[in-house]
Amino acid sequence: MKHVKALIMKFVMSAVVLGTVFTGIYNYDFSDSILIGLVLTVLAYALGDLLVYRNAADDSDYKKETLLLQFLILFYLF
């Protein structure tokens, strides 16, 4: 169920942006914008969420390094 919810959310967000840009500005057909949004949603979900995020989510060393990097950046800024 969480996969379906994530896919729907990604599709709605990309369809709104692509529909606004392609249909509103460049006068593409709305169906073409929806088709491009659908293809991009499936590719982004398959490559990003299922492959990259799943492998990086369980690594506690990664979280520690990210926290340290964020602290150093904030320390440098202030």
Q: What are the pLDDT digits (tens) for 16-43?
A: 999 999 999 999 999 999 999 899 888 8
The Cα–Cα gap between 68 and 48 comes to 24
- On the question of pLDDT at 3 being above 70, the answer is yes
pLDDT for the residue 30: 92
Name the token pair of 62.
Answer: 């990664």
Question: What does the pLDDT average to over 42-56?
Answer: 76
The full length of the chain comes to 78
Question: What does the pLDDT average to over 35-52?
Answer: 84
For the chain, give the mean pLDDT. Answer: 81
56: pLDDT confidence band, cut at 50, 70 and 90? Answer: low
Name the token pair of 38.
Answer: 């659908």
The Cα–Cα gap between 39 and 45 comes to 10
Handedness of CA 53, 57, 58, 64 (dihedral sign): positive
